[in-house]
Structure 1
């Protein structure tokens, strides 16, 4: 499902950038620049909360 979503998103953004007369290289890399950080952010959200340092709970309660 993720691969299909990436393919659709890449195709749409590439088509828009091409229609706006962007350079072919920019039109090819543009979708990666937009979708890359979203993918990284998605995986970061899936990892859950980071481990708390020792003593951090005592600091929160204080």
Structure 2
């Protein structure tokens, strides 16, 4: 089946090249170049679909540091006023 398709494709493209006035060398080699590029493109697509995706190693999670937050007492309000920088 593939051989028949290749022969028909070659003859068709060669006839088109001759119809548009191309020289005999181009009419002979041109279809091979076009069909060759299509075969290479199909092979590249098949290879890209069947090749497994690259596995990216994720870094191991690091344990959280213990006692890194230092709590300090809030400043005492003077006469009921809220000291600057303190959010309630």
TM-score normalised according to structure 1 size: 0.73
For the residue of structure 1 that corresponds to 2:22, the secondary structure is coil
Structure with greater helix percent: 1
- The offset of 1:30, in angstroms, is 0.7
CA RMSD of superposed structures (Å) = 1.8
Q: What are the residue-to-residue correspondences of 1:1-62 with 2, within 5 Å?
A: 1-47=1-47, 48-55=49-56, 58=58
Tell me, in whole angstroms, the C-alpha distance in 2 between the residues paired with 1:13 and 1:43. Answer: 21
Q: Runs ≥4 in structure 1, deviation > 4 angstroms?
A: none
- Higher relative contact order at CA 8 Å, sep ≥6: structure 1 or structure 2? 1
- The count of residues paired between Structure 1 and Structure 2 equals 57
- Structure 2 gaps of 5+ residues are 59-88
Please tell me whether Structure 1 or Structure 2 has the larger radius of gyration of its CA atoms: 2
- The offset of 1:5, in angstroms, is 0.8
